[in-house]
Structure 1
Amino acid sequence: MVLTSNPGFAQDAAKGEQVFKQCMTCHRIGPDAKNLVGPALTGVIGRQSGTAPGFAYSALNKAAGENGLVWTDELVMAYLPDPNAFLKKFLTDKGKADLATGSTKMTFKLDDEQKRKDVIAYINKFSEKK
């Protein structure tokens, strides 16, 4: 995998690895990662929402992906504070308010901006940006 960074983000991947421990309740990351309660996050940056192989996504998450949501650093930053609100707004902004129903399986919220930046830096260690 390619380590990438976004110059607009002051990131610390080592700190992000510590933050990611909270995510490990539901997610794994790395070459041998498997889906758990949440999908494996290896390669998530640059991937269409709702398409990790072998994971049963919520209708909300699949609808967002089918309507153009491809994960970037910036979109993950916006997603982590409130996953449900983010996906519903994404679909509504795409003119698909009728699909902005239900909820994602992700109940965890990460409000702290620096922790989000750091965890994104860590996740990027396992993603190939396109």
Structure 2
Amino acid sequence: MKKNVAALAAGAIALAVSAGSAFAQDAAAGEKVFIKCKVCHQVGETAKNAVGPVLNGLFGRHSGTVEGYNYSDANKNSGITWDEATFREYIKNPKAKIPGTKMVFAGLTNETEVDNLIAYLKQFDKDGKKK
């Protein structure tokens, strides 16, 4: 009986580990995905607002609050605080999540690319330093 319990426990752990790795995020791959965003956005210590706002310190920040960027009223008044779930929904279809946004990006629907982009962006604190 003890051997069966141990075997079941080992199997459950192996399954949990393999399932967790299926959702692994890869910041290096995310940097490549960010090329799609780089047309309008910057990250890092020398980042500046461009067509879109700087994305340093994105997660945990309220939408429409990067100093010096001229946001749409829709973005400023969205009430969004960026977290993974909100960003995932937004990046798939920005205009659906925030009607009236100035963001013209059609959307990023590949889940792996979104995972990796999130991992990449999470590296940067509000000052653009890698954590």
Structure 2 residue matching 1:19: 3-state secondary structure: helix
Question: RCO higher in 1 or 2 (8 Å CA, sep ≥ 6)?
Answer: 1
Q: Which residue identity is paired with 1:36?
A: A
Q: Does 1:104 align with 2:97?
A: no
Question: Match for residue 97 of structure 2?
Answer: 86
Q: 1:1-25 deviations in whole A, cap 9, x for unaligned?
A: xxxxxx7942110000000011000
Aligned equivalent of 1:125, options 120, 123, 126: 123
TM-score by length of 1: 0.75
Structure 2, unpaired ranges of 5+: 1-19, 127-131
Question: Match for residue 116 of structure 1?
Answer: 114
Quick check: 1:46–1:127 contact (8 Å CA) kept in 2? Answer: no
TM-score by length of 2: 0.75
Structure 1, unpaired ranges of 5+: 1-6, 89-102
Point out 4+ residue stretches in structure 1 off by more than 3 angstroms.
none
Q: Which residue identity is paired with 2:104?
A: T
Question: Match for residue 14 of structure 1?
Answer: 28
Structure 2 residue matching 1:80: 3-state secondary structure: helix
Aligned residues: 105
Q: What is the root-mean-square deviation of aligned Cα atoms in Å?
A: 1.7
Question: Match for residue 51 of structure 2?
Answer: 37
Cα offset for 1:127?
3.3
Equivalent-residue separation in structure 1 for 2:61 and 2:109 (angstroms): 23
Equivalent-residue separation in structure 2 for 1:26 and 1:104 (angstroms): 14
Structure 2 residue matching 1:127: 3-state secondary structure: coil
Aligned equivalent of 2:84, options 56, 73, 97: 73
Q: 1:11-58 deviations in whole A, cap 9, x for unaligned?
A: 110000000011000000011200000000011111000001100001
Q: Identity over the aligned pairs, expressed in percent? A: 44
Q: 1:69-108 deviations in whole A, cap 9, x for unaligned?
A: 11011111111011111124xxxxxxxxxxxxxx211111
More helix by share: 2
Q: Does 1:54 align with 2:68?
A: yes
**Quick check: which has more Rg, 1 or 2?**
2
Q: Which residue identity is paired with 2:86?
A: L
